Amino acid sequence: MSAAGDIPKRLLVAIGGNATHPENIAGTSAEQREIAARTARSLLPLALMDNELVITHGNGPVVGKILMRQALARSRIAPMDLDICVAHSQGGIAYLLMQAMENALREAGSQRHVACLLTQVEVDPNDPAFAHPSKPIGPFFTASEARQVEREFGWRMAEDSGRGWRHVVASPRPRHICDVSLVRTLSRRGSVVIAGGGGGIPVVRGPRGVRHGVSAVIDKDFTSALMARVLGIDHLLLLTAVPRVSVNFGTAEQEELDHVGVDRLRALQQQGQFQAGSMAPKIAAAIEFLDSGGREVIVGPLEQAVEALHGDTGTHILAAG
């Protein structure tokens, strides 16, 4: 940032799917409401400022559970396509966040509005990701459970960062955020805007501009980076469940990164330091954002969002240095 402790006047905050739906919960409505309330309390100091604030969020655990419910009920209720499942998860998560944030604002005496926008995101129908599903969604399974799920539902399962096995789906890169002008208009008028949830509803566009959904889940960090670039926002805050980005993770040489330049980060990425399905997408999105003109990306814990912006925690990735 321009000076120690400065808070940017224009900011995009991306909340990880595992931060809004941790692995250690059953996923009841009461649990999700409480997590949304905690998230709102963490972000309240930002929402009370005179700023332009855009919020995105992940949906990996939630959309995977939607698919599981459909699979279990498939003999009674016709299942929905994956793009519609993404839309359901986007709307449900954003509703809880919007309500929790407005409640927190009202309790603090602020009348600031929070708006959530159902967001379509165009992808390339020929993106190689469709042939190589890699995005983990839903709950974790043991290896034997994963084999049973594969046989029963025909899902592709893969091991996820040493934590267990999960369903993997295609995750194409975002190319265009539909109606991003609405995000710009609302944020400039003072509303906190929740958009691009779950990476956006994946769609492709035909030659006459006609869109239709495709079976995929877009990574929310890439969509967040693209949205920030299109909106001209220079600062991107990626909130997750860990305090900092680490290298040599899980070894005696583990190092937590405090401040790091994009060139060193790129070198660490090329060394294979960041795990696919975990930190790797955040690092790749951060590099793309900074390479395209962004000033700073901060990766930090959800509960300490303001402290991360002040430089007291988190990994601060700079365009130069």
Asked if 124 and 172 count as a contact pair (C-beta separation under 8 A), the reply is yes
Residue type, position 267, single letter: A
Backbone angles phi, psi at 101, to 5 degrees: -70, -40
* Gap between the Cα atoms of 214 and 85, Å rounded: 11
Q: Judging by DSSP bridges, how do beta strands 201-205 and 192-194 pair with one another?
A: unpaired
Rounded to the nearest angstrom, the gap between the alpha carbon of residue 141 and the centroid of all alpha carbons in its chain is: 22
Q: Which of 16, 17, 196, 197 is catalytic?
A: 17
* Gap between the Cα atoms of 40 and 60, Å rounded: 20
Helix (H, G, I), strand (E, B) or coil at 231: helix
In the numeric block, which tokens belong to residue 5? 């402790």
In the numeric block, which tokens belong to residue 270? 């090329």
Q: What angle do CA 57, 274, 314 make, to 5 degrees?
A: 55
Q: Which of 64, 282, 294, 300 is catalytic?
A: 282
Q: Which of 135, 200, 294, 300 is catalytic?
A: 135
Asked if 116 and 194 count as a contact pair (C-beta separation under 8 A), the reply is yes
Active site residue 220: yes
Active site residue 9: no
* Gap between the Cα atoms of 178 and 90, Å rounded: 15
Q: Which of 198, 199, 200, 220 is catalytic?
A: 220
Name residues whose C-beta falls within 8 Å of residue 22's C-beta, 6 or more positions apart in sequence.
35, 241
Asked if 39 and 97 count as a contact pair (C-beta separation under 8 A), the reply is yes
Q: Which of 18, 91, 92, 311 is catalytic?
A: 18
Active site residue 17: yes
Helix (H, G, I), strand (E, B) or coil at 259: strand
CB atoms within 10 A of CB 168: 22
Q: Where do the DSSP E strands lie in 58-213?
A: 114-116, 120-123, 135-141, 157-159, 165-169, 174-177, 192-194, 201-205, 211-213
Residue type, position 257, single letter: L
Q: Which residue numbers are catalytic?
A: 17-18, 135, 220, 282
